[in-house]
Amino acid sequence: MELQGKRIALGVTGGVAAYKAAELVRLLLKQGATVQVAMTDAATHFVTPVTFQALSGQPVFTDQWDARIGNNMAHIDLSREADALLVAPASADFLAKVAHGLADDLLSTLVLARDCPLLVAPAMNRQMWENPATRRNVATLRADGVAVLGPGCGDQACGETGLGRMLEPEEIVAELIAHFQPKPLKGRRLLLTAGPTFEAIDPVRGITNLSTGKMGYAIARAAHEAGAEVTLVSGPVALPCPYGVTRIDVTSALQMRDAVLAQTAGSDVFVAVAAVADYRPAAPAEQKIKKDGGTPPAIELTLNPDILAEVAALPHPPLCVGFAAESQKLDEYAEKKRRAKKIPLIVGNLIQNGFGGDDNTLVLFDDDGRHPLPPASKIDLARRLVAHIATLLEKN
C-alpha cells in the first residue's frame, strides 16, 4: 500500500490507451489511493464514464457545467482535493493545450487551475510523437515542471511500431510512487550489481547460487525513486528491469567485472549486491561432458576477481557499498569484509531462510558503527539504505 491516503485526480483523454486507464484505476486503489476520474469528451468515445465510476467508486466528471457541483467549480474543487493530477493517456492534442495554457473543457481547466503536481503519460502514434510541434510542446511541459512519464516503445494500435505507446499501468503506478519519494540522490549516478553469476563447466552446465536479484533490484528502484541515474549490472535473474533504470545483462563474474569497470567513471556510488561466484572452472569444456561410467571428472577451479575490491582500489573510486550475507556472527564477519575490501559501508544481511524472500533483516556498518534496520520488505530496506548512502555522500 505505497499510496495509502494519497488522493489522485486521474484525467483520461481520447485515445485507444484509455482502456488501460481502467486497469490503472484498479492498481492505484490497490496501493491505497483514492481516485477521482475526470474525462475529456473524446475519452468517453473509447471508454464510458460508468466503467471508471464502477472501478473508482466515485462519480466521474466529464463536463465543466456539471450540476452536481454546488458552486459549479468542479475544476477548482477537483484539483484542490488532489495530491497529484495524473493524465493517462495524454493525447498529443491535450499536451498541446496544456503547453499553451488553453482551458476549453473540464480537464484542461482543471490542469490550469491546479495547485498540485501534474504528471502526464503520453499516448499517440509515433509520427505524432516525433512531430516537431509535439517535441516543442513536451519540452515546454518539462520546463514548466510537468513530469512526463514515457512514452514507451513498441507495437501501436495503428499497426506501426515505435515511440508513443502509453507506459503500462504498472509502470505508471511505479512512477507515481517514485514521485512521492524524497530525492536525496538527484543529480547522482549510481552503479550496482545484482543477482547471481553463472560460471560455465561446459556448454550446458555451470556453477551458480540461489540469489534471485530481488534485493539488488529493490535498491535500483529505490535509487531511481531518489532521483539517481541508475545502471544495474545484472546476473541471470527472472525479474523485470525497474522502470527508469538502465540494465546491462551479464552471465559470469568476468563479464560482470568488465561491465562494472566500463561504467565506474562518472559514477558517484557503487553498490555490490550480487552474489558473485568466488571461483570458476579453470577450463570450461567446449563440448558437453559425457558420462562414460568411469571416474567422475574433477573440475579444477580458479579464483574470480573481486569486483568490489577492484573498484574500491581505483584512484578515484565512487562511494563503495558492499553486502555480506552471513548465517552467523554477522557483526564480526561483515566488519571483517568491510576492512578487507577497504570500503566505507557494508550491509550485513542475516540469512535465515536462504535467499529470495520478499523481506529481509539488514544491519549497516560504517565508520560510525552499526546501524540496525528494522525487519521490513526489501523495497522499504532499500529506501532506508539509499537514504543512508545519501547522508554519507553529503559528508564526503
Whole-number minimum distance, CB 223 to ligand PMT, in Å? 15
169, containing H or E segment: helix 169-179
Whole-number minimum distance, CB 193 to ligand PMT, in Å? 6
Whole-number minimum distance, CB 188 to ligand PMT, in Å? 19
Comparing CB distances to ligand PMT, the nearer of 352 and 396 is 352
Q: How far apart are CA 302 and CA 278, in angstroms?
A: 9
Say if residue 375 is preceded by a cis peptide, omega within 30 of 0.
Answer: no
Q: How far apart are CA 142 and CA 137, in angstroms?
A: 9
Whole-number minimum distance, CB 313 to ligand PMT, in Å? 12
Active site residue 158: yes
Comparing CB distances to ligand PMT, the nearer of 58 and 255 is 255
- SS3 at position 46: coil
266: alpha, beta or left? (left if phi > 0; alpha if psi -120 to 50): left
Instruction: Please report, for residues 23, 97, 163, 321, the alpha-carbon distance to residue 141 in angstroms, rounded to integers and kept in the order given.
Output: 26, 10, 18, 37
The CA-based angle 157-159-163, given to 5 degrees, is 70
Tally of helices (H runs) and strands (E runs) in the chain? 13, 21
Comparing CB distances to ligand PMT, the nearer of 40 and 193 is 193
Comparing CB distances to ligand PMT, the nearer of 165 and 214 is 214
Comparing CB distances to ligand PMT, the nearer of 119 and 272 is 272
Cell 550480487 belongs to residue: 274
Cell 550446458 belongs to residue: 204
Q: 68 is written with which cell numbers?
A: 452536481
Q: Is the dihedral of CA 26, 226, 362, 370 positive or negative?
A: negative
Q: 270 is written with which cell numbers?
A: 557503487
Residues of this chain that interact with ligand PMT (CB under 6 A) are: 193, 211-216, 253, 272-276, 278, 304, 306-308, 322-325, 337, 349, 355-356
Whole-number minimum distance, CB 282 to ligand PMT, in Å? 16
CA dihedral of 333, 335, 340, 345, whole degrees rounded to 10: 130
Give the residue among 124, 103, 116, 169 at the shortest CA–CA distance from 147.
Answer: 116
Whole-number minimum distance, CB 272 to ligand PMT, in Å? 3
Q: How far apart are CA 234 and CA 276, in angstroms?
A: 11
Comparing CB distances to ligand PMT, the nearer of 213 and 344 is 213
Q: Which of 116, 153, 158, 241 is catalytic?
A: 158
Query: What amino acid positions are annotated as catalytic residues?
Result: 158
